[in-house]
Amino acid sequence: MNDPLRLEADVLVIGGGLAGCWTAAAAAQAGASVILAEKGYCGTSGVTATAGPSHWWVPPEPPAAREQAIAERHARGFGLSDPAWMARILDITWRTLPTLAPFYRFSVDDQGQVQHRGLRGPEYMRAMRALVEHLGVTILDQSPALELLTRHDGTVAGAAGHRRQEGRDWIVRAGAVVIATGGCAFASHLLGAGNNTGEGLLMAVEAGADLSGMEFTNYYTVAPAGTTMTRSMAYTFGRYFDADDRELGIHPGPDMNRALGEALLKGPVFCRLDRVPQDIRERMPQVQPNFVLTFARQGIDPYRDRFAVTLRAEGTVRGIGGLRLQDQDCRTRVRGLYAAGDAATRELVAGATSGGGNQNSAWALSSGQIAGAAAAGLALREGRGVQRIAYVAGRAGLRPSAGARSFDVGAAVELARREMGDLDKNMFRRGEDLAASLDRLSSAFAELATHGSALGGERQRLREAAGMLAAARWSKASALARAESRGMHHRSDAPASRAQFASRQRSGGLESVWTRFERQPAEAVP
């Protein structure tokens, strides 16, 4: 193998999607030298590039408008959101998004007013790449990170990975690192989420970070059967039918997906979008072109014809869980390690319900701005520490704890996909089923950690499998410990909310998984 590419920077951003780009931009604007490492190609990778993302966008005047927007969202958070964080996210989004104008052509309405709320995903991500290149950020495309580097005192010193197209490793020494690897979709074939495999969470936990909200990972999105087209806005206007063409009682609202899931467990479900307003139909080719193209290729008029639908699991992409943030700077509990976007918990702004598209996009932008600026500040104050000895932190899939032997990566990925995707395992939850699922996932993770080993680019496949299994374990353990129903987390054996669980839940651990609710005694943390 060729000698590794060795680089140094003040800030290393791992992940080149929406949050990663906003993070890199903020760090560069704060005066830091920045390297961005992306598993795919920065500018086309991630769920934003396939979508028509909107943002949580509320003018500051009159103040009552924002107060009402926050109050409404907070009421839907089931006690787990934070109004102060919500106000902060609204403000940063409002001030920051228009600054992209030199690189992105915002739409103008019939009155000549610039529309910042909704953007065209492919163009948005091209603009983000142009922005970070303009700011001098060094981009490592096709360069997945495999593990973090830490110093003897536990602080983060950088990361190491592999340059897929060159067949060469890379090592970046940095004063601060931001995890912006997106959510974990558990190989659900969610559109744009093929690279969202959870190893960013795994890397952070190996370095000492913990997570929060991992029980809220059972969000599903409707899609035409046999496709990955999870653009769901139009389906709120849909009518649903069984195989005998009897209309089902599935209506827009927070329980729509559960009703659809119950129907799908009984047999095929069909949809007709004849109630979509004409103005939305006319705008759809510009706002969500992929949505229209899918039907055109099949010769289906979705506004007239009946077509089969399914539900695709979104994991933590439009779920809630992720790395727990220690402070107002989006820092994890590991010094020098920050998190942004879907890799971080969104409970602060979404509570126990999905942030959907607009709130999650605002979170990606704003948490990226916060984390990037904070990481730059730390690195510039304390220096990169590049002369201090650094240690590799990666374990599962990189350094087997016992003798290396063959490991069925495909079977491990399929196990994570089933346990986190099948409706009867993840949408409809019962304690005994969660415990059985956790046992299966734990056995697979232990086997991988004990014996999994690979060379060169094959290490990435092992790390992706390890990331999915680890994230699935944290999810199942958290769902088992939350013996109630709250927000998107619903337990058929505990259908009511309980006051004792009205707090956020932390999780972590590798060899064994631990969970605890924040208001329980601190000594309960292992």
Strands 138-140 vs 269-272: parallel, antiparallel or unpaired? unpaired
Do residues 307 and 335 both lie within one domain? no
Do residues 251 and 103 both lie within one domain? no
Which position has the higher pLDDT, 254 or 372?
Answer: 372
Is residue 416 a part of any domain in this protein? no
Q: How many residues does the chain have?
A: 526
* pLDDT at residue 195, as a whole number: 93
Is residue 419 a part of any domain in this protein? no
Is residue 481 a part of any domain in this protein? no
* pLDDT at residue 371, as a whole number: 98
**Per-residue confidence at 207, pLDDT binned at 50, 70, 90?**
very high
Do residues 285 and 332 both lie within one domain? no
Those residues whose C-beta lies under 8 Å from the C-beta of residue 339, and which sit 6 or more positions away, are 178, 179, 180, 204, 209, 322, 323, 325, 330, 332, 367, 371
Percentage of the chain with pLDDT > 90? Answer: 82
SS3 432: helix
**Per-residue confidence at 522, pLDDT binned at 50, 70, 90?**
very low
3-state secondary structure 330-390: CECCCCCEEECHHHECCHHHHCCCCCCCHHHHHHHHHHHHHHHHHHHHHHHHHCCCCCCCE
User: What is the number of domains present in the chain?
Assistant: 2
Which of 313, 234, 319 is CA-nearest to residue 489? 319
At CB < 8 A and 24+ separation, what contacts does 432-439 make?
432/493, 434/476, 434/479, 434/480, 435/480, 437/476, 438/473, 438/476, 438/477, 438/480, 438/513
Is residue 183 a part of any domain in this protein? yes
Q: What's the mean pLDDT in 85-110?
A: 96
* pLDDT at residue 190, as a whole number: 86
What does the DSSP assignment read for 55-93? -----SSSHHHHHHHHHHHHHTTTT---HHHHHHHHHHH
Do residues 171 and 61 both lie within one domain? yes
Which of 4, 462, 469, 503 is CA-nearest to residue 201? 469
Chain mean pLDDT for the chain? 93
Do residues 253 and 337 both lie within one domain? no
Do residues 146 and 24 both lie within one domain? yes
pLDDT at 464 exceeding the cut of 50:
yes
| Backbone phi and psi for residue 463, each to the nearest 5 degrees, phi listed first | -65, -35
Strands 505-508 vs 211-212: parallel, antiparallel or unpaired? antiparallel
Is residue 513 a part of any domain in this protein? no
* pLDDT at residue 385, as a whole number: 65
Q: Give the CATH number of the domain where residue 34 resides.
A: 3.50.50.60
Those residues whose C-beta lies under 8 Å from the C-beta of residue 436, and which sit 6 or more positions away, are none
Which of 160, 128, 116 is CA-nearest to residue 16? 128
From 12-21, 346-355, 517-526, the region with the lowest mean pLDDT: 517-526
Among 312, 331, 362, which residue terminates a domain?
312
pLDDT at 417 exceeding the cut of 60:
yes
Do residues 60 and 165 both lie within one domain? yes
pLDDT at 332 exceeding the cut of 80:
yes
Distances in whole angstroms, Cα of residue 247 to Cα of each of 276, 284, 311: 17, 26, 18
Among 370, 392, 414, which residue terminates a domain?
392
Q: What's the mean pLDDT in 12-23?
A: 98
From 26-30, 303-307, 356-360, the region with the lowest mean pLDDT: 356-360
Do residues 136 and 196 both lie within one domain? yes
User: CB of 80 within 8 A of CB of 73?
Assistant: no
pLDDT at 431 exceeding the cut of 90:
yes
Q: What's the mean pLDDT in 358-378?
A: 97
Q: Give the CATH number of the domain where residue 300 resides.
A: 3.90.700
Do residues 85 and 201 both lie within one domain? yes
Do residues 34 and 110 both lie within one domain? yes
> How far apart are alpha carbons 351 and 78 in whole angstroms?
6
* pLDDT at residue 52, as a whole number: 78
Angle, CA of 172, 173 and 176, to the nearest 5°: 110
Q: C-alpha dihedral over 200, 204, 210, 213, to 10 degrees?
A: -10
* pLDDT at residue 346, as a whole number: 97
* pLDDT at residue 2, as a whole number: 72
For residue 265, give its domain range.
222-312
pLDDT at 287 exceeding the cut of 80:
no
Is residue 363 a part of any domain in this protein? yes
**pLDDT tens digit sequence for 168-199:** 999 999 999 999 999 999 999 888 889 999 99
pLDDT at 524 exceeding the cut of 50:
no
Do residues 210 and 234 both lie within one domain? no
**Per-residue confidence at 386, pLDDT binned at 50, 70, 90?**
low
Among 392, 414, 436, which residue terminates a domain?
392
What does the DSSP assignment read for 260-290? HHHHHHHS-EEEE-TTS-HHHHHHHHHH-HH
Is residue 505 a part of any domain in this protein? no
* pLDDT at residue 283, as a whole number: 84
pLDDT at 315 exceeding the cut of 90:
yes
From 227-236, 370-379, 496-505, the region with the lowest mean pLDDT: 227-236
Do residues 188 and 205 both lie within one domain? yes
Is residue 498 a part of any domain in this protein? no
CA max distance for the chain: 71
Residue 443's H or E segment, with its range, is helix 431-451
